[in-house]
Structure 1
Amino acid sequence: MRWTLKPKPDSQKIKTLQEALQVDTVVATLLLQRGIETYEAAKTFFRPSLDDLHDPFLMKDMDKAVARIEAAIAKGEQILVYGDYDVDGTTSVALMSSYLKTRTDLVATYIPDRYDEGYGVSFKGIDFAHDNDFSLIIALDCGVKAIDKVAYAKEKDIDFIICDHHRPGNELPKAVAILDPKRDDCQYPYKELCGCGVGFKLIQALASRQGQTVADLVPYLDLVATAIGADIVPITGENRVLAYFGLQVINSQPRPGIKAIIAEVKKDTLTITDVVFIVAPRINAAGRMKHGNHAVTLLTETDFNTAVNYAIEIDAFNTDRRETDKRITQEALEQIETNNEQEGFTTVVYHESWHKGVIGIVASRLTETYYRPTLVFTKSGDKLAASARSVSGFDVYNALEACSEFIEQFGGHKYAAGLTLKEENYPAFKQAFEDVVSQTIDKALLIPEIKIDLKINLHQVDDKLMRIIKQFAPFGPQNLAPVFMSEQLRDTGYGKCVGDGTHLRLMVGDNTKRLVGIGFGLGEKHPIIANGKPFKAAYAIDENHWNGQTSIQLKLKDIK
């Protein structure tokens, strides 16, 4: 691990913010590092408000989208709500369809089959719409690159409204409206919405024409918060507001489908991290192992007992998914070791029998192991399909773009993407990808990094700091839980390996204070702290709940 201490803000700015907020240096520094420099900005950060959400009509084409949907409702047209099979796509479809059903009965949903149709808008989906007399398709979390598909739909007299958040290509589809904050010609103030977030802006615009306010739409925010967490978008600005109120819904009055998923969880209050690791994998498992329709059915179900039955079924998919990804990860690791391929700048593996639904998870596991931009390929029809994952700081989307001569199609983000190519192009692509990454990556990025907000002494870790840090939540990209560093620490004699020796538990002390520290996966570092030797630690501040008591503990990231 390489430790990177974030630059300390200007001392005068720290002093000014301290005085304005009546907080200590630590809190003022943490806020300035997050771009919060004034009393007003801090108030917005600590007290998220629905009033901070932007006017949806600031988004390019929003007026066209609303006009077309209102015309469809008025004329009694059939509307097909179309979305991808991942969490962002299925929550988007559940959100849009459940809202539209409050306005018209002529609404149906469509999720493409991951194996038969692949990612995004499909010709098969358009044929389904045509065969069943749908004249309007609202595509969510996909579509901004579907130029040929939208043209095909137009030939069949089917209009498209696209709600996407992926980067557009050089040309846009000929849709009635394309809502995408990442369009170059879109002046929308916040660019980092997920697909479900863009869908929410559309229902916000539609509801405003009915005299409703955003407060009337709060019950939909459990879906939006789930998508924000699962899609790993920045939890800043508008996303922070949507996630904050969405978590309140999840913890107080979630829809029956989400309530059924979390019914077995023994936690009073779920955080965005809990949503990412408990709710999202189960929703995702439907599309990975069976069909995304199962997720939409669960998320739109209004009867809790029925939802429980669906949740049990989806939990079984998730169990299958875990077993499958564990097996394939092991096979991929063996392939890399056998071929002695762990020395390059990239990790690229392929087996024709690997389950397409889990290759993205396997790519993430391999990235954790070797810390390289990673691609996992499998056979998909007569082509090869891959999931790509990257390391922090490296844009894998740009790297794929540089290899596009060997690729049939690709799409995604800086850190995660998908692609297909012809089998005969695999060797040439694999070499090209290695060449591009080796020539463009900063070699330091190949060593995992811990970004440390601030160096502090243990005596500064107290209940007051813990209370304030909890108000920094919800945490996520660009607003991660603060990481601190302290030096000249010693174990006070109780340090030991726990959990089959893989984890480290110790009583950390300096000249001023002692606190329990727990380091998951740090068991092998026990010799560093043995016999009272001094060490430094990078850690987050956490709460430990035990026997009705709450105490502060250090969640160790690394020790040296």
Structure 2
Amino acid sequence: MRWTVKPIPNPEKVQNLQQALGVEKAIATLLVQRGIETFEEAKKFFRPSLKDLHDPFLMKDMDKAVARIEQALAEEENILVYGDYDVDGTTSVALMSSYLKTRTPQIATYIPDRYAEGYGVSYQGIDYAADNDITLIIALDCGIKAIEKVAYAKEKGVDFVICDHHRPGKKIPNAVAVLDPKREDCEYPYKELCGCGVGFKLIQALEEKLGNPVETLMPFFDLVATAIGADIVPITGENRVLAYHGLHVINTLPRSGFKAILNQVKKETLTITDVVFIIAPRINAAGRMKHGLHAVQLLVEEDEKLAEKYAAEIEAYNAERKDADRTITEEALQLIEELKEQERFTTVVYGEHWHKGVIGIVASRLTETYYRPTLVFTKSGNKLAASARSVKGFDVYNALEACTEHIEQFGGHKYAAGLTLDESCYEAFKNKFEEVVSQSIDQKLLTPEINADLELNLKEITPKFYRILKQFAPFGPGNMTPVFLTQHLTDTGYGKAVGQTQNHLKCSVQQLPDKNFIGAIGFNLGDKLPLIQHKKPFDAVYSIDENEWNGNVSLQLKLRDIR
């Protein structure tokens, strides 16, 4: 691990904010590092308000989208709500379809089959619409590159409204409306919405036309918060407001589907991290192992008994997904070792029988192990399909763009993408991808970095300090959990390796001459026990959380690394 500490911001700004808020210097420093410099900005940060949401009509084509949907409602047209099979797509379909059903019964939903149709808008989906007398498709979390598909739909008398957040290609589809804040000609002030967030802006605009405030949409905030967490978009600006209020809905009035998932795992209060690691994988498991419509069904179900039944089915898909993920990861690791792939700048592996639904998770695991831009391929029909994952600071989307001569289609973001290619192009593509990455990546990016926000003395960690720190949540990209560095720590003598395979480190530390001590836990740091034994001094990078044991709650350090 490379340890870096963020630069200390302008002392004058820190001091001014410290005085304005009446907080410790460390808190003021953390806020200024996050671009919060005034009392007013701090208020917006700590108390995210729905008033801070932007006017949805600032988004390019929003007026056209609203007019077309209002026309469809007035003329009782059949509308198809179409979305991708991951969490962002299925929550978007649940959001849009359940909202529109409050205004018309003529709503159908469609999620493409991951295996038969692949990602995004499909000809099959358009045929389904045309065969069922559907004249309007609202596509969510996909569609920004569906130029031929939208043209094909037009020939069949089917209109498209696209809500997407992926990067557009050179051309924009000729749809009735294309809502995507990443369009170059879109001046919407916040560019980082997820697909469900763009869908939310559309229903906000539809409500506004009815003269209703955004508060009437409160029951949908939980879906948006789940998509924000799962799609790993920055939790800043509008996303922070939506995630904050969405978490509140999940924790106070969860929809039947969420309640049923949480009953399966016995969890009370959820943070955005819980949404990412508990709710999201289960919703995703449906599209990975069976079909994304199962997830939509669970998310829109109002009957608690039925929701329990669907949640139990999804729990089974999730268990199946975990097995597949474990097996394929082991096979991929073996392949990399045999082929000496770990000596390259990239990790590219292919397994003909690997389950297409889990190759994205496997790519993430391989990235954690080797810390290289990674692609995991499998056979998909008569093509090869891959999931790409990157390392912090390296744009894998741009790297793939430089390999387009070997690729049939690709799409995605800076850190995650998907692609398909012809089997005959696999070797040429693999070599080209290695060449592009090796020539363009800064080598230090190939060592994982731990970036501490600031250096802290242990005595600064008080209940009051932690109480304010907790209010920095929800955490995520753009507002990560604060990480601290403390030097010259010693273990009080009780440090030990714990866990079934002794792979975690548990200890209690102090910073002399101060006599106070605080408990610490380091997951997967069990092998570092020798560094702290016999009162050897060490430095640690950690975040702070609470440890609950026998009804007692105490603060503890969650160690990220020690040296």
Does the TM-score normalized on the shorter chain lie above 0.5?
Answer: yes
User: 1:174-222 deviations in whole A, cap 9, x for unaligned?
Assistant: 0000000001111111100000000000000001111211101011011
Match of 2:190 in 1: 190
Match of 1:424 in 2: 424
Secondary structure of 2:342's partner? coil
Secondary structure of 2:417's partner? strand
Match of 2:445 in 1: 445
Match of 1:249 in 2: 249
Q: Measure the CA separation in 2 of the matches of 1:210 and 1:108.
A: 23
Code of the aligned partner of 1:141: D
Deviation at 1:389, TM superposition (A): 0.3
Match of 1:526 in 2: 529
Match of 1:415 in 2: 415
Match of 2:233 in 1: 233
Q: Measure the CA separation in 2 of the matches of 1:483 and 1:353.
A: 41
> Residues 136 and 160 of structure 2 are in contact (CA less than 8 Å); yes or no, is this contact kept in structure 1?
yes
Match of 1:535 in 2: 538
Match of 2:213 in 1: 213
The yes-or-no answer on 1:550 pairing with 2:549 is no
Find 1:559's aligned residue among 554, 558, 562. Answer: 562
Code of the aligned partner of 2:234: P
Deviation at 1:290, TM superposition (A): 0.4
Code of the aligned partner of 2:549: W
The yes-or-no answer on 1:66 pairing with 2:66 is yes
Secondary structure of 1:263's partner? helix
Secondary structure of 2:509's partner? strand
User: 1:305-362 deviations in whole A, cap 9, x for unaligned?
Assistant: 1000000001100000000010000000010111111111000000110000000000
Secondary structure of 1:342's partner? helix
Match of 2:124 in 1: 124
The yes-or-no answer on 1:35 pairing with 2:39 is no
Deviation at 1:471, TM superposition (A): 0.2
The yes-or-no answer on 1:94 pairing with 2:94 is yes
Code of the aligned partner of 1:509: Q
For 1:492-507, list aligned pairs within 5 A: 492-499=492-499, 500-507=501-508
User: 1:141-171 deviations in whole A, cap 9, x for unaligned?
Assistant: 0000000000000000110000000000110
Secondary structure of 1:555's partner? strand
Structure 2 gap ranges (5+): none
In the superposition, the TM-score normalised over structure 2's length comes to: 0.99
Secondary structure of 1:335's partner? helix
Secondary structure of 1:160's partner? strand
Match of 1:374 in 2: 374
For 1:21-170, list aligned pairs within 5 A: 21-170=21-170
Deviation at 1:234, TM superposition (A): 0.3
Deviation at 1:24, TM superposition (A): 1.3
Match of 1:274 in 2: 274
Deviation at 1:268, TM superposition (A): 2.8
Q: Measure the CA separation in 1 of the matches of 2:6 and 2:511.
A: 23
User: 1:217-246 deviations in whole A, cap 9, x for unaligned?
Assistant: 011011000000000000000000000000
User: 1:243-293 deviations in whole A, cap 9, x for unaligned?
Assistant: 000001100111111111111333331000000010000000000000001
Q: Measure the CA separation in 1 of the matches of 2:133 and 2:302.
A: 27
> Residues 546 and 554 of structure 2 are in contact (CA less than 8 Å); yes or no, is this contact kept in structure 1?
yes
Q: Measure the CA separation in 2 of the matches of 1:78 and 1:413.
A: 33
For 1:477-496, list aligned pairs within 5 A: 477-496=477-496
Q: Measure the CA separation in 2 of the matches of 1:549 and 1:266.
A: 20
Code of the aligned partner of 2:358: V
Match of 2:475 in 1: 475
Code of the aligned partner of 2:270: L
Code of the aligned partner of 2:75: K
Q: Measure the CA separation in 2 of the matches of 1:346 and 1:531.
A: 41
Secondary structure of 2:183's partner? coil
Code of the aligned partner of 2:506: R
> Residues 385 and 421 of structure 2 are in contact (CA less than 8 Å); yes or no, is this contact kept in structure 1?
yes
The yes-or-no answer on 1:514 pairing with 2:517 is yes
In the superposition, the TM-score normalised over structure 1's length comes to: 0.99
Q: Measure the CA separation in 1 of the matches of 2:205 and 2:229.
A: 24
Code of the aligned partner of 1:184: E
Q: Measure the CA separation in 2 of the matches of 1:276 and 1:67.
A: 35
Secondary structure of 1:345's partner? coil
Code of the aligned partner of 2:226: T
Secondary structure of 1:450's partner? strand
Code of the aligned partner of 1:154: K
Secondary structure of 1:36's partner? coil
For 1:344-383, list aligned pairs within 5 A: 344-383=344-383
Q: Measure the CA separation in 1 of the matches of 2:547 and 2:266.
A: 15
Deviation at 1:428, TM superposition (A): 0.5
Deviation at 1:297, TM superposition (A): 0.6
Q: Measure the CA separation in 2 of the matches of 1:259 and 1:202.
A: 27
User: 1:457-485 deviations in whole A, cap 9, x for unaligned?
Assistant: 00001101100010000000010110000
Q: Measure the CA separation in 2 of the matches of 1:61 and 1:339.
A: 50
Q: Measure the CA separation in 1 of the matches of 2:517 and 2:404.
A: 56
Q: Measure the CA separation in 2 of the matches of 1:268 and 1:336.
A: 41
Q: Measure the CA separation in 2 of the matches of 1:37 and 1:184.
A: 30
User: 1:285-304 deviations in whole A, cap 9, x for unaligned?
Assistant: 00000000100111111101
Q: Measure the CA separation in 2 of the matches of 1:349 and 1:265.
A: 34
Match of 1:395 in 2: 395
Secondary structure of 1:432's partner? helix
Structure 1 gap ranges (5+): none
> Residues 543 and 560 of structure 2 are in contact (CA less than 8 Å); yes or no, is this contact kept in structure 1?
yes
Code of the aligned partner of 2:504: H
Q: Measure the CA separation in 2 of the matches of 1:328 and 1:129.
A: 37
Q: Measure the CA separation in 2 of the matches of 1:533 and 1:314.
A: 49
Q: Measure the CA separation in 2 of the matches of 1:297 and 1:266.
A: 22
Secondary structure of 1:386's partner? strand
Q: Measure the CA separation in 2 of the matches of 1:351 and 1:383.
A: 13
Moved more, 60-69 or 205-214: 205-214
Q: Measure the CA separation in 1 of the matches of 2:175 and 2:258.
A: 33
> Residues 264 and 312 of structure 2 are in contact (CA less than 8 Å); yes or no, is this contact kept in structure 1?
no
Q: Measure the CA separation in 2 of the matches of 1:507 and 1:44.
A: 37
The yes-or-no answer on 1:199 pairing with 2:202 is no
User: 1:61-110 deviations in whole A, cap 9, x for unaligned?
Assistant: 00000000000000010000000000000000000000000000000000
Q: Measure the CA separation in 1 of the matches of 2:267 and 2:151.
A: 49
Secondary structure of 1:505's partner? strand
Secondary structure of 2:341's partner? coil
Code of the aligned partner of 1:129: A
Match of 1:292 in 2: 292
Deviation at 1:7, TM superposition (A): 0.7
Q: Measure the CA separation in 2 of the matches of 1:269 and 1:117.
A: 38
Deviation at 1:546, TM superposition (A): 1.5
Code of the aligned partner of 2:446: L
For 1:298-377, list aligned pairs within 5 A: 298-377=298-377
